[in-house]
Structure 1
């Protein structure tokens, strides 16, 4: 257990409660925290928004990528889809599956988390048959053999836990059934559809190991199980089964929305929820320096209330070392005319190790994104 140096101090005008009851003329609160949102933290109160810069140089900057412009129409396998972001512990892909896979996939480098952004189809794997559709998370345990038969084109976000496994978060005092009850998790079935796809034709299995591909050929379909028992399986969770934790008097940190965890990163899901009703509570994400993690947000659907000019199918990257938070217009609207309900669905990756941006991601980057944080003061000084 970490034994942080903790020396609680106070200076000047400050709020006794984080994210609420701000002192007059110092409404721009910034959290400087360690170990994500689980370590010690200090809350500073500023006269100006901490993201109202007027000029930026260098590679460390807020970045946005439009996955709708990604050219991967010829990716017949998930391993053909370009890696957009990566480090030693995860790989971040976006795959367009246009037709039935004629080759099985098997990732020997780690568990895969698949999020269905659009479309629907049938998943066949070692453990049976599973119907999947937009909004589904699917965890594919390491070295699972699988293939997809889409009803139409499917768009899938895929996050590999390299050399690791996905687990559920510790829900602490909330209890085992909070956020989502494990009873809503779905596993594949050995049903008629699965048995019907078993044949004696030649099938190939594409195996990824150390980011290199090997192909094994069988004179029959190796998805030929007739039954199984145990506690390792493909697992499905739809975001609609997530019941978010919330407080009417306090804006909760992103960690309260954790869905899956791996040793060096977490996956959080932001789903529709009521807005904080206390008049003195912050109603948008707070400015923060999450200086131990890179934050990646995939925007699935809805009205992304804390961002301007962000559309469905886009991804933002806010690396460690810089302050991030709501866009200026979103912050102003939240103070003058706050919403009562947030209607958005987004998938967040918080990575403990710095993520590398691939050339494929740079090709679809909105280079002007860093300037979108400039407020009126910054505009006057340009």
Structure 2
């Protein structure tokens, strides 16, 4: 991009209530008072509404923001279809759903000059993007900052960095996200990614369905899990840039490109609840047993995208954050199970307490997939160790793992075939111990 540019300093504001109305202005007086779209917006700006939900959805679920910008979004040339790279979108038809337990090593190093968008690589997903249902699992590996702007009309993007910091330049302002944090870019919000290190690697959940929200707490009560006050939105920052800027739009699974004569990140002020945000996973308030048994992993849910069936999510985002284990006479790692949900698991750092680390194992940047009803659980080494452990209070703080859990099977893309061989072998050697009473 070229031309004069003006930005406010990087900053964040706590949302102080997830999903509530918030506002920010980069220039005093840019926000109109009392009216969303006055006859003349302040400072010669254009008023524009960005709707993340249908106009008539219930107030509690309605997502929209008003943007006061230098030029309206409508002022752009036609888009043309461009190459999709490694990105794929539902419906996924390149292969058939696989009931086997699957695991991958981290992505290989990208070619020089690979930015976040070019470095997006789709592992698989489910649903139908044209029906706004389902999700996709992507990974990214980049070594260059973006000099173009991207928006996703198909869904919201939950970004989970594993290596390298990112500075997200969004229409709403700047978001600084490091490994150990997650960032959420809502459907349709334009942004570009600046790398803060030589390279960056991580995971992305593209959610086609209902926007992520905090899960209901039920019998837990008013407190616990992710606290609404810990989510942070950007303060308003804008670019006043004249000159050619490439803008890429993902629409119904395909990438479309147009060259604007100005930066579309020109929002001087905003208010609403359809906003990008970040969350520090180490602020997650972990709950667990203080008597016996291993609770279900649902108690580790950070965000959920509800479906039309109460309690059955289109996709959940779950984190296994540092925590104490104190259960008596309890097998403390995750138990053997089969699940109606499908589970894609990734690792940000360290090791996961139910999987053996090391070369060829479950390592940061890698991932595993256990589709619905596939039998899985601790590997043999973990089972043997946990079954014989002395059960004193134990702090689990040497790893940070997460899970994208979805109601439908995850179907792989054709290029997701570089699987780790012999993953099933981790359960080999689980011996028979049954001794019937006589």
For the aligned pair, the TM-score class normalised by the smaller chain equals 0.7 to 0.9
Q: What displacement does 1:277 show?
A: 3.7
Q: 1:369 is matched with which residue?
A: 423
Query: 2:243 aligns to what?
Result: 201
State the Cα distance separating 1:156 from its structure 2 match.
2.6
Q: Taking structure 2 as the reference length, what is the TM-score of the superposition? A: 0.68
Is structure 2 residue 294 aligned with structure 1 residue 255? no
SS of residue in 1 equivalent to 2:417: helix
- 2:396 matches 1:342: yes
Aligned residue number for residue 298 of structure 1? 346
Counterpart for residue 223 of structure 1: 265
- Determine if contact 2:119/2:142 at 8 Å carries over to the other structure: no
More helix by share: 1
Paired residue total: 314
Kept in 2, the 8 Å contact 1:202–1:219? The answer is yes
CA 1:59–1:356 in 2, change beyond 3 Å: closer, same or farther?
closer
Give the Cα separation in 1 of the matches to 2:264 and 2:169. 11
Contact 2:116–2:193 (Cα < 8 Å) also in 1: no
Structure 2 partner of 1:122:
167
Check whether the contact 2:282–2:322 (CA below 8 A) recurs between aligned residues. Answer: no
* Normalised TM-score (structure 1): 0.77
Query: 1:70-149 residue pairs with structure 2 within 5 A?
Result: 75-78=114-117, 81-88=120-127, 89-149=134-194
Q: 1:166 to 1:269 in 2, by over 3 A?
A: same
Q: Which residue of 2 aligns with 1:324?
A: 376
Superposed CA offset, 1:260-290 (max 9, x none): 1113121101011111341x12211111111
What is the rounded CA distance, in whole Å, between the counterparts of 2:225 and 2:350 in structure 1?
Answer: 20
Aligned to 1:17: none
Instruction: Write the deviation string for residues 322-363 of structure 1: whole angstroms up to 9, x where unpaired.
Output: 221111111111121257122321110111111112232212
Deviations 1:213-233 (A, max 9, x none): 111322111111111111110
Q: Which residue matches 1:352?
A: 407
Alpha-carbon distance in 2 for matches of 1:210, 1:295: 25
- Displacement after TM superposition at 1:73 (Å): 6.2
- How big is the shift at 1:71? 5.2
Within 2, Cα distance between the matches of 1:258 and 1:73? Answer: 37
Q: 1:304–1:207: structure 2 CA closer, same or farther, 3 Å change rule?
A: same
Runs of 4+ deviating beyond 3 Å? 68-75
8 Å contact from structure 1 (residues 328, 373) kept in 2: yes
Q: What CA deviation, in whole Å up to 9, does each residue of 1:151-204 have, x standing for no partner?
A: 1112131110124421211112323441122111000112xxx34x43212212
Match of 1:282 in 2: 331
Segments of structure 1 that go 5 or more residues without pairing to the other structure are: 1-57
Q: Which runs of 5 or more structure 2 residues have no equivalent in the other structure? A: 1-96, 128-133, 308-313, 433-438
Q: CA deviation at 1:367?
A: 1.9
In structure 2, the residue matched to 1:69 is 108
Q: How far apart, in 1, do the equivalents of 2:111 and 2:346 lie? A: 18
- The whole-number CA distance in structure 2 between the counterparts of 1:139 and 1:150 is 17
RMSD value, Cα: 2.0
Equivalent position of 2:285 in the other structure? 243
SS at match of 1:267: strand
SS at match of 2:246: strand
Other structure's SS at 2:367 match: strand
